Structure formats: C-alpha cells, structure tokens
Amino acid sequence: MSRRVLVLNGPNLGRLGSREPDVYGSTSYAGLVETCQGLGKELGFDVEVRETNDEGELVRWLHEAADGKIPVVINPGAFTHYSYAMRDAAAQRTAPLIEVHISNPYAREEFRHTSVIAAVATGTVAGFGLGSYRLALRALAEEVSG
C-alpha cells in the first residue's frame, strides 16, 4: 500500500520552463509533476502534485494535510518570505513537512534570505534545481520509515 504525499507549489511555479529558465531551469511544470510522481512511486508514495497562485488555497491544503496526517513537500514560492498565515498552517503539521526551493535563496536577492516556513518545517532542501524535489522526497521516505 502506498502512502499519500502532497507536493504543494506556490505562486508562479506553474510557469516552470518558461519563467526565468536561467534561474529555474527549462523543465516544464508537467515535467516536475512527472518527476515527483515517478520517484514517489519508486519510494512507495502516492504523490499528488498541486500548484496555486492563491495563498488561501495553499493554507487549506496544509490544513487538509494536517487533518489527514499526510506528509508534505512544499515550495511556497514568494509566500516563503512573508506568509504568516501559511507559516501558521504549516506549524499545525502532523506528519513531516519539507520545504523546497529550486534555486538557492541565499545566493539571490536579500529579501529571499528569510523563510517564515523553515522554523516549522522538518527540513529544507534548496539550490539543486528540480533535484531539490527528488532530495526532499527521499528525505521524506527516511522520515516516514524511521
């Protein structure tokens, strides 16, 4: 039996492949979904990948994960830096939650150096392109099996 995992993506991540490819790579959002679901299957996960530009929807998804004890991989996008509503929702987690970033926020503009999510996450993986998601899913597999 597979364990359900949510991979949640915040604003602008649906534009992968066309959005600043020098920063975010050339793989499309569909490629990200395929990567996460494929590796998830190998790890024994039933991965559901979601993306929204709506802060409220992301908060509702975090509530759903907390209520269902569902592990989460989350790339909050710009919400990383200022969404206290999302931070409070993530703090209610009842299963591991791993924050991911495609780029390394510390190698970019100063406003990106602060994450309000990091303090309530199990861990953070950043700077490895879409590999950040693969690393996060592998870390999640370690967390839920241990």
Please provide the distance, in angstroms rounded to a whole number, between the alpha carbons at the two ends of the chain: 17
pLDDT computed for residue 50 by the predictor: 97
9 is known to lie in a ligand binding site: no
* Architecture label for domain 3-145: 3-Layer(aba) Sandwich (3.40)
Q: Spell out the domain ranges in the chain.
A: 3-145
Q: What is the DSSP string of 56-108?
A: HHHHHHHHHHHHHT--EEEE-GGGGGT-HHHHHHHTT-SS-EEEEESS-GGGS
pLDDT, averaged per 10 consecutive residues of the chain (146 residues), comes to 89 65 61 93 97 95 98 92 92 97 76 83 94 96 88
- Catalytic site positions: 24, 101
pLDDT of residue 24: 47
142 neighbors 107 (Cβ within 8 angstroms): no
pLDDT of 5: 98
Asked if residue 102 belongs to a known ligand binding site, the reply is yes
HSE (CB half, 13 Å, CA atoms) of 117? 31
Residue 113 is predicted with a pLDDT of 67
Q: Is 75 annotated as a binding residue?
A: yes
Tell me what pLDDT residue 1 has: 56
